[in-house]
């Protein structure tokens, strides 16, 4: 009887899959190349400061509840709801737009620049919610056996939503709103998918619905890494062992199955089922050397923007800084379109700031702030050289100082910078792309790398570059989908 499962990668996708499988009685072992679990959902500690490495908030909390319920456990961490959700500032403007879930409060922020804002937003969200409800179970949370199966499923989506597939998110917003600021702010969700609103299909307006009405945004009491610590506690109870600093670099096959995976120390690991949490396209290219995922093919795929991240420990309190803030400028279209291909400099960057210590004061020594900054930048295909990283970091710090009236350089206790090259090395992210494959029409659903391997019938995939897509709730849904796949393929489950 098949019992042993080997999971490659201890990111959220891998950990969630491990929990589901171990609760079903499988003997689960995990291998992780990094020295800690969590993948991108990780943590950095320095000089008494603690930082969330990458994700700082998330939506669709009920996916974590589904995971816990289906495993018969309580959710092993505590959500903190963000309301207001975040703030947005445009260069040269003293105003910080505050984004509320409450539409009355929200319209108070925008009524002057967008008369009739509330009614316009209600109509926008109504349309987005109708789409969300029509695709949540039929498309997002579904396995596809083939591209035809996906296309067939798409034909069942009510035809009134069809234009949203062909319209861009920016065009969709333009149908409801006139104000530049409103359109820019509510198109920022495109960057959560790692792309721009000018090439993201309008179907992703569903993210505005999940952000404002459906569920909102959440952080976690004690920091985002509590999610990982909670899952690790549960896995320990089930005797799931994780081996760190073990990177899979090769494999052996036997007929249509993998017989073992080989790590960087030359050790061979055999199992009945292999679940790959490493990027699904990268793994097929690098390890399986699959022609359909050749270097040329990967280069031509659409990848999400790479992260340039900074972790600052700062003396004092930056009064003007909210817990989550976006700092934008007034050349949104030009910048968004050019930044991907490194056709615009980083001397006037757009960036996001999370004041970690606002929600979780224990993340900084008393009287200090833990600050995380994320600036989306071109991936290594377009900007391979990051010798200018300190210069970029200084530009961002000075801009933030000026907008918040706080001397950041003068109060800096610690600074860590990760450029796309660091991100690539840490977690095997293709060319440093932060969110993996983009979500354009040709890379979603049945067109995304499948969670079942094309050649080896005992290999499955979980995580952001397989179905359904990127982000924390999607990684959890992905673990549910891979569990279903395994259940369908093997009658013993
Ligand atoms: C800067 C940044 C900010 C983000 N912010 C948010 C946010 O606010 N909200 C949100 O919802 N999402 C956010 N995301 C996205 C989110 O982090 C990811 O979608 C999610 O964490 C992906 O989880 P995963 O399990 O698919 O992959 P990963 O977290 O990448 O885990 C994969 C694991 O596999 C390991 N691995 C890879 N190759 C091998 C190998 N050959 N052998 C052994 N191990 C291997 C890696 O080291 C890694 O630990 C952000 C991402 C980034 C980069």
Asked if 304 and 195 count as a contact pair (C-beta separation under 8 A), the reply is yes
Answer yes or no: is pLDDT of 492 > 60.
no
Query: How far is the C-alpha of 56 from the C-alpha of 95, rounded, in Å?
Result: 24
Asked if 22 and 275 count as a contact pair (C-beta separation under 8 A), the reply is no
Answer yes or no: is pLDDT of 292 > 70.
yes
- Ligand 1 centroid from CA 39, angstroms: 5
What's the whole-number mean pLDDT along residues 363-389? 97
Amino acid 432: pLDDT:
97
- Ligand 1 centroid from CA 105, angstroms: 35
What's 118-212's CATH class? mainly alpha
**Low-confidence winner among 7-21, 71-85, 189-203, 371-385 (lowest mean pLDDT):** 189-203
- Ligand 1 centroid from CA 469, angstroms: 12
Amino acid 441: pLDDT:
84
Rounded to the nearest angstrom, the gap between the alpha carbon of residue 226 and the centroid of all alpha carbons in its chain is 17
Amino acid 461: pLDDT:
98
Residues 6+ positions from 274 with CB-CB distance below 8 Å? 5, 6, 7, 8, 258, 261, 456, 458, 459, 460
Other Cβ atoms closer than 10 A to 407: 15
Amino acid 36: pLDDT:
97
Confidence of residue 2 (pLDDT cuts 50, 70, 90): low
Packing angle between helix 62-71 and helix 12-23, nearest 10 degrees? 30
Amino acid 236: pLDDT:
98
- Ligand 1 centroid from CA 95, angstroms: 34
Average pLDDT of the chain is 95
Residues in the chain: 493
- Ligand 1 centroid from CA 401, angstroms: 30
Nearest CA owner, ligand 1 atom 26: 463
36-85 pLDDT per residue, tens: 999 999 999 999 999 999 999 999 999 999 999 999 999 999 999 999 99
Other Cβ atoms closer than 10 A to 208: 23
Confidence of residue 491 (pLDDT cuts 50, 70, 90): low
What's the whole-number mean pLDDT along residues 109-138? 96
Nearest CA owner, ligand 1 atom 3: 54
Is the peptide bond between 468 and the residue preceding it cis, with omega within 30 degrees of 0?
yes
Residue 195 or residue 268, greater confidence? 268
In the chain, pLDDT over 70 holds for what percent of residues? 99
Ligand 1 pocket, mutate which of 10, 11, 34, 420 (most atoms under 8 A from CB): 11
Query: How far is the C-alpha of 117 from the C-alpha of 103, rounded, in Å?
Result: 9
**Nearest CA-CA partner of 213 in 270, 285, 129:** 129
**Nearest ligand 1 atom to alpha carbon 423:** 53
**Low-confidence winner among 110-124, 149-163, 226-240, 287-301 (lowest mean pLDDT):** 149-163
Nearest CA owner, ligand 1 atom 15: 471
**Nearest CA-CA partner of 87 in 317, 326, 318:** 326
Answer yes or no: is pLDDT of 490 > 80.
no
- Ligand 1 centroid from CA 157, angstroms: 30
Strands 368-377 and 273-276: unpaired
Answer yes or no: is pLDDT of 193 > 90.
no
Other Cβ atoms closer than 10 A to 236: 11
- Ligand 1 centroid from CA 119, angstroms: 38
Answer yes or no: is pLDDT of 443 > 60.
yes
User: Where are the CATH 3.50.50.60 domain residues in the chain?
Assistant: 4-41+220-301+439-489
Q: Is residue 402 classed exposed, middle or buried when 0-12, 13-18 and 19+ CB atoms within 10 A define those classes?
A: exposed
Ligand 1 pocket, mutate which of 34, 39, 51, 250 (most atoms under 8 A from CB): 39
- The secondary structure element, H or E, covering residue 47 is none
Answer yes or no: is pLDDT of 440 > 90.
no
- Ligand 1 centroid from CA 112, angstroms: 40
H/E/C letters for each residue in 181-194?
HHHHHHHCHHHHCC
What are residue 306's DSSP bridge partners? 377
Query: How far is the C-alpha of 359 from the C-alpha of 88, rounded, in Å?
Result: 18
In the chain, pLDDT over 90 holds for what percent of residues? 91
Four-residue CA torsion sign, 171, 175, 179, 182: negative
C-alpha torsion angle, residues 274, 275, 276, 281 (rounded to 10) = 90
Pocket of ligand 1 (CB under 6 A): 8-14, 31-34, 39-41, 54-58, 247-248, 277-278, 307, 309, 374, 427-428, 434-435, 463-464, 470-472, 475
Answer yes or no: is pLDDT of 493 > 60.
no
**Nearest CA-CA partner of 363 in 100, 146, 58, 44:** 44
302-341 pLDDT per residue, tens: 999 999 999 999 999 999 999 999 999 999 999 999 998 9
Ligand 1 pocket, mutate which of 7, 8, 9, 36 (most atoms under 8 A from CB): 9
Amino acid 426: pLDDT:
98
- Ligand 1 centroid from CA 479, angstroms: 14
Answer yes or no: is pLDDT of 159 > 80.
yes
Amino acid 442: pLDDT:
87
- Ligand 1 centroid from CA 135, angstroms: 25
Write out the two tokens for 226: 């509590």
Coil, strand or helix at 377 = strand
- Ligand 1 centroid from CA 11, angstroms: 6
* Strands ordered across the beta sheet of 248-254: 248-254, 257-263, 268-269
What's the whole-number mean pLDDT along residues 283-303? 97
Phi, psi of 99 (to 5 degrees): -100, 110
What's the whole-number mean pLDDT along residues 443-454? 94
4-41+220-301+439-489: CATH topology is FAD/NAD(P)-binding domain (3.50.50)
Query: How far is the C-alpha of 386 from the C-alpha of 24, rounded, in Å?
Result: 46
Nearest CA owner, ligand 1 atom 35: 9
pTM (predicted TM-score): 0.97
Asked if 88 and 312 count as a contact pair (C-beta separation under 8 A), the reply is no
Query: How far is the C-alpha of 314 from the C-alpha of 133, rounded, in Å?
Result: 44
User: Where are the CATH 1.10.405 domain residues in the chain?
Assistant: 118-212
**Nearest ligand 1 atom to alpha carbon 282:** 38
Nearest CA owner, ligand 1 atom 30: 39
């Amino acid at each position: 009887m098949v019992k042993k499962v080997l999971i490659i990668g201890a990111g959220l996708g891998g950990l969630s899959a491990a929990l589901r499988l171990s609760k079903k009685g499988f003997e689960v072992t995990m291998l992780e190349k990094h020295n800690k679990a969590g993948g991108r959902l990780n943590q950095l500690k320095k000089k008494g400061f603690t930082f969330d490495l990458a994700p700082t908030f998330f939506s669709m909390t009920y996916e974590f509840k589904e995971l816990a319920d289906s495993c018969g456990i309580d959710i092993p961490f505590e959500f903190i709801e963000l309301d207001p959700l975040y703030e947005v500032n445009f260069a040269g403007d003293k105003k910080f737009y505050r984004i509320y879930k409450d539409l009355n409060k929200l319209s108070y922020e925008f009524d002057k620049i967008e008369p009739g804002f509330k009614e316009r937003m209600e109509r926008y969200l109504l349309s987005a919610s109708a789409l969300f409800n029509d695709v949540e179970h039929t498309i997002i949370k579904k396995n596809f056996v083939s591209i035809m199966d996906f296309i067939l499923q798409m034909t069942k989506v009510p035809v009134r939503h069809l234009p949203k597939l062909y319209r861009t998110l920016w065009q969709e917003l333009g149908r409801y709103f006139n104000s530049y600021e409103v359109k820019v702010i509510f198109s920022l969700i495109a960057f959560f998918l790692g792309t721009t609103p000018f090439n993201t299909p309008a179907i992703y307006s569903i993210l505005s619905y999940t952000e404002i009405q459906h569920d909102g945004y959440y952080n976690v009491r004690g920091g985002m890494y509590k999610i990982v610590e909670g899952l690790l506690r549960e896995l320990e109870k089930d005797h799931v062992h994780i081996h760190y600093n073990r990177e899979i670099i090769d494999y052996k096959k036997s007929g249509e199955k993998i017989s073992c995976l080989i790590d960087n120390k030359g050790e061979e690991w055999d199992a009945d089922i292999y679940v790959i949490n490493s990027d699904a396209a990268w793994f097929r290219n690098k390890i399986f050397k699959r022609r359909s995922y050749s270097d040329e093919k990967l280069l031509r795929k659409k990848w999400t923007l790479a992260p340039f991240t900074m972790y600052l420990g700062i003396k004092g309190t930056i009064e003007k800084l909210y817990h989550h803030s976006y700092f934008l400028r007034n050349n949104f279209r030009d910048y968004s379109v050019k930044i991907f291909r490194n056709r615009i400099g980083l001397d006037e960057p757009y960036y996001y700031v999370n004041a970690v210590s606002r929600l979780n004061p224990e993340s900084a020594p008393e009287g200090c702030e833990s600050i995380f900054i994320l600036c989306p930048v071109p991936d290594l295909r377009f900007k391979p050289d990051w010798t200018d990283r300190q210069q970029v970091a200084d530009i961002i710090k000075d801009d933030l100082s000026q907008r918040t009236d706080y001397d950041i350089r003068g109060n800096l206790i610690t600074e860590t910078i990760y450029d796309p090259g660091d991100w690539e090395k840490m977690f095997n992210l293709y060319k440093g792309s932060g969110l993996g494959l983009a979500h354009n029409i040709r890379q979603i659903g049945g067109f995304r790398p499948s969670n079942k391997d094309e050649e080896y019938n005992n290999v499955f995939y979980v995580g952001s570059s397989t179905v359904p897509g990127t982000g924390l709730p999607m990684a959890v849904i992905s673990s549910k989908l891979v569990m279903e796949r395994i259940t369908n393929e093997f009658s013993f489950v």
